[in-house]
Amino acid sequence: MGGESHGQSVKIPDWRIYKVEDVPQLMQVQKALSQYGLNDPWLRNEVWRFNPAFGTKWQRLRLGFFRGFKWGLAACALTIVVEKALGIDYHHPLGHGEEGQSHH
């Protein structure tokens, strides 16, 4: 592994480029915590979420939800076509007798 994926080097950004001071929402969290004498040393790990390069929260949600959607839809359609062509039917009768009769 060693930071390589399929022959291409993966570039990991330097952690020092993410600063809480660059994000007003996180500065508010930091101020609110400091009023109670608290400090969140991991707050810097949330800065990337506010970076425009990573998109908005809704863009990331849409990307995560629809990633692979077209391939999944194509696989579903192909499965239906194959099942119809081969005459595969998953509907089973209700009981051992005729359909519509119920067991007591």
Residue-level pLDDT at 99: 54
Higher pLDDT, 24 or 100: 24
21-77 residue pLDDT tens? 988 999 999 999 999 999 998 898 888 888 777 778 888 888 888 888 999 999 999
- What are the angstrom distances between the C-alpha of 21 and each of 46, 49, 55? 12, 14, 19
Tell me if 52 sits within 8 A of 22, measured CB to CB: no
* Nearby residues of 82 by Cβ (< 8 Å), 6 or more positions away: 88
